[in-house]
Amino acid sequence: MSLTVDAFLELVEDKLPPAPEEQILELEGDLGVMLPEDYRRFLQLCNGGYVGGALWFFGRDSEGEEIEVGVHHINGFREESYLSLVWSRECYQGEELRIPRELLPIMDDPFGNAICIGLTARHRGRVYFWDHEEEPDPDEWDGALDTAGNITLVCESFSEFVAGLRQNEEE
């Protein structure tokens, strides 16, 4: 059974009302692109929160290998660093580039890895998993998604990601 955005929102704890439109527009201005429409609509409904690892996406990567991605924190325009889109961008894409700029970190998993949404070209709208334990050497990496080596395509859209979330049996 597919999870709807409304059902997902019911499971999000400590969620704030919709993200202010001015902040969404400011982020889009900083990024130089509009957010993918389905993710933008989500922000207009939920300004971050958490599910504490209670939801997992199960699927297969491009090579057919099983992937499991857990959701812990959901970023928004929040004061708390662990729930902040702005803080995540500064942390991962600031002075030290750790996540390619083609992606925006929008959530994390219970282990400190990032769940990102693609912003440009063929990556736009797709959901990716960034593994912090497999980061490339910053002196050798060119900053591109295709050469990072620690990023896995999870699914083709934010809507597909939400639809694929399932409750963790252990919760």
For position 21, what pLDDT does the model report? Answer: 97
What would you report as the CA-atom Rg of the chain, rounded to the nearest whole angstrom?
Answer: 15
pLDDT in tens, 30-63: 999 999 999 999 999 999 999 999 999 998 877 8
Nearest-10 Cα torsion for 11, 83, 141, 146: 30
98-118 core/surface letters (b: 16 or more CB in 10 A; e: else): bbbbbbbbbbbbeeebbbbbb
Q: How far apart are the C-alpha atoms of 104 and 116, rounded to whole Å?
A: 5
Give the CA distances from residue 53 to residues 24, 68, 70, 107, 110, in Å, rounded to whole numbers and listed in that order: 26, 12, 6, 11, 6
Q: How far apart are the C-alpha atoms of 156 and 153, rounded to whole Å?
A: 8
Q: Into how many domains does the chain fold? A: 1
Q: CATH number of the domain that 29 lies in? A: 3.40.1580.10
For position 170, what pLDDT does the model report? Answer: 59
Structural domain of 128:
5-167
Whether this prediction's pTM lies above 0.75 is answered by yes
pLDDT in tens, 71-110: 999 999 999 999 999 999 999 999 999 999 999 999 999 9
